[in-house]
Structure 1
């Protein structure tokens, strides 16, 4: 005789087990904060940086995945940035309100402070790839793109004993900024690179025909949240 199959028994113990809900529309890396070291390229002769020149960047990027796995797509956002450059370029003004650019030899002058700072509103545009899933919060990422910006405030500061020169308005300053960006990393730590596609200034050294351009290159760390 064929044995009769016993009916399946219901086990009430499984009532306490909850199924994990996977968000099929998850987004990643929408808030960012970055810290970096600022370098200046395309320099006039005798120009040099000294001390630490740093920057802070933060903002929001809307994550726009375009594939089913949601690990490839675009990002568009808005951000804020402040950058300081310690160097030996004197920025002053004649009585005619014409801007003066001069390279200062610190060996000849007693200079306490010589730096300029930029404050920007930025719009990052990115092409994004990562190894993320809806449940994996540690993943590799590679983001490349363009960052548009506008310098809404500029200040140069030159200080000697009993002498101080501050400048905030420069006709030679290129306030609209365009830069290429590249970020890669894993989990929390991500290396970021920013290379300006246009110079900071369109000026020349006083009494010379040497251009004062200065192209920012920023190298640092980027951290993403949510």
Structure 2
């Protein structure tokens, strides 16, 4: 009988111990995607300038440029540090300068370069649809979204709206969708930096005005130059 009670006691003890035993927590297995892409939204802020300018041409105030869009990333090597990307975006470019655009009594457009004291305000602005195509290098990994990058490419743009506004103190000349503006514009650009912050530079290869546009008998060969910051957001 004593042996039976001893066995029952041991069974009760071990049963209680087994119930109180804490089972280890089973953590879910997180699968890391090694086939990542740097598909990104981008947004840029730039200071706008011109190159190949006419004599006595000057800019005044701050000429602001804004652009944004989406880029599709297509890696071309196994480590995915080299890629090609193409995308679609929109741009707004604003220029304050002393190249005036007005009209005579017959409605003909007249171009001039005037001192700032000869007018109250003068600016040109345009809106475009952009197609950026770029070659990408970065030292990113699938475990980190913070990395160094150098992206270079070509941007093709179609200007779907433009306007120049000149206030000479007596009359305001507003010319919308000037037929002399090159609607198709293009040029190379470069973006480089770390993580979200990157410097950006774009140089237009196509003149702003068509070949028939002249100033004092000389062709206006002005090209755009934009410098600023570009931000990439996954």
- 1:47 is aligned to 57
Unaligned runs of 5+ in 1: 1-10
- 1:21 is aligned to 31
- In the alignment, is the contact (CA less than 8 A) between 1:99 and 1:170 conserved in 2? no
TM-score by structure 2 length?
0.85
- 1:178 is aligned to 186
1:163 & 1:114 partners in 2: Cα distance? Answer: 12
- 1:151 is aligned to 159
Unaligned runs of 5+ in 2: 1-21
- Aligned pairs for 1:38-187 (under 5 A) are 38-107=48-117, 109=118, 111-187=119-195
- 2:197 is aligned to 189
1:192 & 1:61 partners in 2: Cα distance? Answer: 16
**Higher alpha-carbon Rg:** 2
1:133 & 1:16 partners in 2: Cα distance? Answer: 28
**Larger deviation, residues 115-124 vs 171-180:** 171-180
TM-score by structure 1 length?
0.88
- In the alignment, is the contact (CA less than 8 A) between 1:32 and 1:222 conserved in 2? yes
- Pairwise CA RMSD: 1.5
Structure that is richer in helix per residue: 2
Structure 1: which 4+ aligned runs deviate by more than 4 Å? none
Q: Secondary structure in 1 aligned to 2:36?
A: coil
- 1:37 is aligned to 47
- Residues 56-89 of structure 1 show CA distances to partners (whole Å, capped at 9, x for unaligned) of 0100111111112222110011000000000001
2:169 & 2:206 partners in 1: Cα distance? Answer: 35
Aligned residues: 211
1:29 & 1:139 partners in 2: Cα distance? Answer: 15
